[in-house]
Structure 1
Amino acid sequence: MGKMLSEAFLIITVALVLANTVVVKVSGQSLTIWPMPATVSYGQSHLYLSGNFKLSTEYVDSSGILKDGFNRMVSLIKMDHVVDANRSASLLGLHVVISSPNEQLQYGIDESYNLMVPSPEKPAYAHLEAQTVYGALHGLQTFSQLCHFNIKRKVIEIQMAPWTIIDHPRFSFRGLLIDTSRHYLPLPVIKNVIDSMTYAKLNALHWHIVDTQSFPLEIPSYPKLWNGAYSTSERYTVADAAEVVSYAQKRGVNVLAEVDVPGHALSWGFGYPSLWPSKDCQQPLDVSNEFTFKVLDGILSDFSKIFKFKFVHLGGDEVDTSCWTTTPHISKWLKKNHLNESQAYEYFVLRAQNIALSHGYEIVNWEETFNNFGNKLSRKTVVHNWLGGGVAQKVVASGLRCIVSNQDKWYLDHLDTTWEEFYLNEPLTNITKLNEQKLVIGGEVCMWGETVDGSDIEQTIWPRAAAAAERLWTPYDKLAKNPRQVTKRLAYFRCLLNQRGVAAAPLDGQGRSPPVGPGSCYVQ
């Protein structure tokens, strides 16, 4: 839950409710906010924003996060329209109160906020309270969705005032995976994805940086690794990666970096061929070679200087160990150490975990590691479910944490999975004990890159990712039991994304389907 309301805000809230405002108890089509807040009350009046709408705050904004967020919000609500600054206005600005000066972005930070927009009796300020600046950023996003450009008056208006919104996320981890190995994504594309995430209150960018196909990231400790990039222009420097992390952090988004081992790593060997079992059998990484673990240590050491999120993703999925048994020197090593191939897989994963722990990380691993030797995993492991249902239930029963991304519902590259299926996917299915529910830290939608690049990634992500975003943000009892109850509201959000320059696809049809013909954005 979010922090307790301040006394002043509580008095205002009670007054508004007593003044015959409407309290929303379920997802309603009359509201256009996405994702639906925890508690909403509203009235029937109109407010008009001043042409010089101002930020008022006593918060010491040392890194400019609040100011920049406010300026971005003002730009979003104007949507490049020319606003008539001479019109009389009833809302002069937004007063923001932030309790904590701590701007360190980490997992579990307080993201709650309280937002009050007054009645239009006299010129006044809207009021936003949050424990942290990152909660305030969410409040700014919600405020932006209350604002509309009045085309006749040429001003920004807020309908259905006064508003009181008390809000907090259901899950602390609300993720989106991007894959820059299957297709390189230019930095502006990645930044646009981060911006679009904030509109739906997603807060974790899972960056699947490298894989079998390419190794685009500069690793100073082992500079030949990025020889595995597709080309010299399809690479990220250390400064590029740091810029992505900084850009995301200023918007309240953590970056979860992944290095997927021991499988999915053929590209490593273009720079260092000794990492391959042999020239003819090139993955998984050579478990018998100490150099393999030195390289992994170097990568994670360099990661720790860039990626400040408390978790690092070590993959561990889809490991075909046949190269280990058919390569003579590895087969000999296995026999010497009394290991079969499944035991060698366990040895590799656990040793990789220890390396990550030595660099201060907690670990995320794909579910195969749990399915094969879950009782051996570090207790600092988060198991990433992707193969299907029932796994999360087993993970939390064992006392480990879990992220839900079951591929049948939350894989964006599955174009035949509809937004309705994304919306109905419940991370806590069959998890009834409160202590076990708390171990599900959240969920993630996955945009695997085999068939997406900069040309089509946005319309493949949106609006289906927004359906999952509401599932992860909105309290369970406020979620619609039937997706048809939220169709109009999601359609409105999709059109809002388009207006903000995000190429979100229509709701009808499969993922990234084009419009079927002429018509309004709101009915496609």
Structure 2
Amino acid sequence: MPFGAFTALHLLLIALLFSGVLLPAGGRKRSGLRRSTVRLDDSSIYLWPLPKQYSHGSQTLTVDPDIALEARGPGGSSAIVSEAFDRYKNLVFKQQAGYAGGDHDIAKLIVVVASENDTLQLGVNESYTLYIRGASDGGRLSIVSEVSIEANTIYGALRGLETLSQLCIYNYDTKTIEVHKAPWFIQDEPRFSYRGLLLDTSRHFLPVNIIKQVIESMSYAKLNVLHWHIIDEESFPLEVPTYPNLWEGSYTKWERYTVEDAYEIVDFAKRRGIHIMAEIDVPGHAESWGVGYPALWPSRNCTETLDVTKNFSFEVISGILTDMRKIFPFELFHLGGDEVHGDCWLSTPHVKEWLNQHNMTTNDAYQYFVLRAQDIAIAHNWTPVNWEETFNSFGEKLNPHTVVHNWLGPGVCPKVVAKGLRCIASNQGVWYLDHLDIPWEDFYTSEPLEGINVTSQQELVLGGEVCMWGETTDTSDVQQTIWPRAAAAAERLWSSIEATSAGGLNDTVLHRLQYFRGLLNHRGVPAAPVTNRYARQPPIGPGSCFSQ
């Protein structure tokens, strides 16, 4: 995939030349860059993503480090809620050492959840209302403030807890956690039900703890689907009990995921309100499959694509899906279907003969394979997701429940929804994180509903997904490459179109994103500077992290 005309090194050298930092040979001097001075505007709102509706006052309230949780409603006592409360309490109060004693305005959080059902399905209600009552008595802060989060589901409560945590700010002078601009009243809900991030663990293996770190950071931006691209032609790292030799296709025996690992990741994600959508990409991108089962290859010279002529290919797919269905409860399953090259089939004598016998072209065989794989997924009670090539090649034949995943460019989702199918937007020109030359502004301004003006068709766009393909990322740089650009898309997917488009790309948006990047850094997420000309590029000189 193209990374632009300049390498990161070229851009860094240019920046250093213009800044005067490069030194003559043998010389050393202090950097000529002047330290920037940052003044965070107290009149601004530093929430990310921006809530749908909110109002606020001008009071400052202090928060008790021993703040207590009062659970109400059928779902308020859920373990997921109480664990999240403890998690956010730790985030807010463990970043600094030492807190001032004495009375505090906020000592209790009331969480009211209407439903005890913890099923995490597509479109689960994530709305919430957050209320922080002012603590004033004749102008003096003497009445304890009340803070409450009300939600229909536990997952709405999780989103409310994230917003509340962003309102809590440490005051270094008084050594207290404060909430500014009280009273607050926030009514919030996501614009799209699907707000995803693809993570590729085939091109480079990512340990389980790194996947968990990515999931944790996703919850801070209110993303809610991890598209786990587990397998590709380079490696097959996942254990499949029905076909135990498949993970012989892993890079090494130390770069694998056990069934228990996958269960752990799914459970970890659920407790943060995040779905895991798994993918096996068929019939192309399958070279790693044949390492353990060579019969899946059409021949030793044709290993990229699964053998369309053999029932064994479909038996293995069925076995994989049978085992995966026990692990992944999310109703969407990604079957890939992109970049299938028929020349491999045509160059294999027995496949070419089979095509002639069935009066098929390679495109017919491609359609046959995709539709048969869809039938297998549907038999396992999954809704199939396929990359857009399937729609471009034989859209009329796809199962009517198919979700088409755009990636090649703009203008695809309007065609998909016009045919009555659902769509996920991931235009590579604006939402591919491995394209390091795409700035955050392009991520922010990309609109999933562009070109779709009919309300009934707009409702068929589930949302969008930023894609972290793994050719040039591994444990050392994956988080820096994801953040903060993924957060720019996250606000587009969560916040209302009026909120994200009314002011355009002004300084307010930039300052809020810089602040959110700083928040990620404080929470241990190594997000790169916002204003990079080339993603994940480190700072080129001294300065505040809130201005770069």
- 1:359 corresponds, among 365, 375, 380, to 380
CA-CA distance at 1:221 after TM superposition: 0.5
Residue number in structure 2 paired with 1:482: 504
| Letter of the 1:483 counterpart | L
Residue number in structure 1 paired with 2:14: none
CA-CA distance at 1:418 after TM superposition: 0.2
Residue number in structure 2 paired with 1:523: 547
Is 1:379 aligned with 2:433?
Answer: no
Is 1:270 aligned with 2:291?
Answer: yes
Q: Secondary structure of 2:319's partner? A: helix
Q: How does 1:395-434 map to 2 (within 5 A)?
A: 395-434=416-455
- Contact 2:195–2:223 (Cα < 8 Å) also in 1: yes
Which range is displaced more, 331-340 or 247-256?
Answer: 331-340
Q: How does 1:124-163 map to 2 (within 5 A)?
A: 124-163=145-184
| Letter of the 2:48 counterpart | W
- 2:47 corresponds, among 11, 30, 33, to 33
CA-CA distance at 1:85 after TM superposition: 5.5
- Contact 1:47–1:120 (Cα < 8 Å) also in 2: yes
CA-CA distance at 1:49 after TM superposition: 0.6
**Distance across 1 between alignment mates of 2:89 and 2:225:** 24
Residue number in structure 2 paired with 1:8: none
Change (3 A) 1:79 1:32: farther
Corresponding residue pairs, total: 497
- 1:100 corresponds, among 104, 115, 120, to 115
RMSD of aligned alpha carbons: 1.1
- Contact 2:170–2:176 (Cα < 8 Å) also in 1: yes
Residue number in structure 1 paired with 2:514: 491
| Letter of the 2:529 counterpart | P
CA-CA distance at 1:84 after TM superposition: 2.2
CA-CA distance at 1:82 after TM superposition: 2.6
- 2:87 corresponds, among 53, 72, 92, to 72
**Distance across 2 between alignment mates of 1:389 and 1:188:** 35
Q: Deviations over 1:357-390 (max 9, x none)?
A: 0000001000000000001001110000000011
CA-CA distance at 1:323 after TM superposition: 1.2
| Letter of the 1:100 counterpart | S
TM-score (norm 1): 0.94
Q: How does 1:31-70 map to 2 (within 5 A)?
A: 31-59=45-73, 60=75, 64-70=79-85
CA-CA distance at 1:78 after TM superposition: 1.8
Q: Secondary structure of 1:306's partner? A: coil
Which structure 1 segments of 5+ residues have no match?
1-27
- Contact 1:51–1:86 (Cα < 8 Å) also in 2: no
**Distance across 1 between alignment mates of 2:98 and 2:166:** 17
- Contact 1:83–1:156 (Cα < 8 Å) also in 2: no
Residue number in structure 2 paired with 1:6: none
Is 1:239 aligned with 2:260?
Answer: yes
Q: How does 1:108-119 map to 2 (within 5 A)?
A: 108-119=123-134
Residue number in structure 2 paired with 1:194: 215
**Distance across 1 between alignment mates of 2:77 and 2:313:** 43
CA-CA distance at 1:29 after TM superposition: 7.5
Q: Secondary structure of 2:260's partner? A: helix
Which structure 2 segments of 5+ residues have no match?
1-41, 137-142
Q: Deviations over 1:433-458 (max 9, x none)?
A: 00000000000000000000011000
CA-CA distance at 1:62 after TM superposition: 6.3
**Distance across 1 between alignment mates of 2:95 and 2:510:** 27
CA-CA distance at 1:50 after TM superposition: 1.2
**Distance across 2 between alignment mates of 1:516 and 1:454:** 23
**Distance across 2 between alignment mates of 1:83 and 1:433:** 56
Q: Percent identity?
A: 54
- Contact 1:38–1:475 (Cα < 8 Å) also in 2: yes
TM-score (norm 2): 0.89
**Distance across 1 between alignment mates of 2:394 and 2:303:** 25
Which range is displaced more, 266-275 or 122-131?
Answer: 122-131
- Contact 1:218–1:226 (Cα < 8 Å) also in 2: yes
